[in-house]
Chain A
């Protein structure tokens, strides 16, 4: 079973920042927080991951609370192509599979 809780859906205006929350209150010390997204009819796409520090890459930023019980994925300037289901996953290291929950369906609106 997924160890994360996400809102089922969110809307975001095009050009605005999309902030997707995730609760993972039972996360263990060796577990990372991963974010993937799945655009309609495509395979899941890796976005970003982190352990305890905030992370940023060309796609997004990941903010992890100090107690690591929740995190927020930030898409700084959402576009229509960012419309997708976003999955927050906690995962220990080394060859463990990704356990997908229901994710958040983000709709970016023009």
Chain B
């Protein structure tokens, strides 16, 4: 059974377009995250939601807007895509607690042309 799933796996689009990436977890976790891994392979946190509320928002352009319709989903919408947005985006989830382990999805490779 897939624990953390993301769609699509690959996304190729033109500059200026608006796109969304979806994330779902079936682990019953209450915290979800979005990470970005750039071409140099650095993984960085973008957002974190706990019980559908935003708790972490790193320095990310406001073109990026996460949306959490329920605890099992955290979608990432990106407006006016730029070349620099090309990266692999990973969703993760955890159960809040003292030693919450994060489980990652398979990633979405976004290519902006």
Chain B CB within 8 A of A97 CB: yes
Chain A CB within 8 A of B27 CB: no
- Give the total of A residues in contact with B, Cβ under 8 Å: 20
Smallest CB separation, B47 vs chain A (Å): 9
Mostly, the B contact residues are strand
Residues of B near A32 (CB, < 8 A) are 99
Residues of A near B31 (CB, < 8 A) are 95
- Give the total of B residues in contact with A, Cβ under 8 Å: 29
> Are B45 and A93 within 8 A (Cβ)?
no
Chain B CB within 8 A of A10 CB: no
> Are A97 and B56 within 8 A (Cβ)?
yes
Residues of A near B48 (CB, < 8 A) are 95, 97
> Are B33 and A42 within 8 A (Cβ)?
no
Residues of B near A98 (CB, < 8 A) are 35, 43, 45, 102
Residues of A near B100 (CB, < 8 A) are 93-95
Residues of A near B41 (CB, < 8 A) are 85, 102
Contact of B99 among A49, A99, A102 (CB under 8 A): A49
Residues of A near B63 (CB, < 8 A) are none
> Are A93 and B99 within 8 A (Cβ)?
yes
Smallest CB separation, B77 vs chain A (Å): 20
Q: Which residues of A contact B (CB under 8 A)?
A: 32, 34, 38, 41-46, 49, 85, 87, 93-95, 97-100, 102
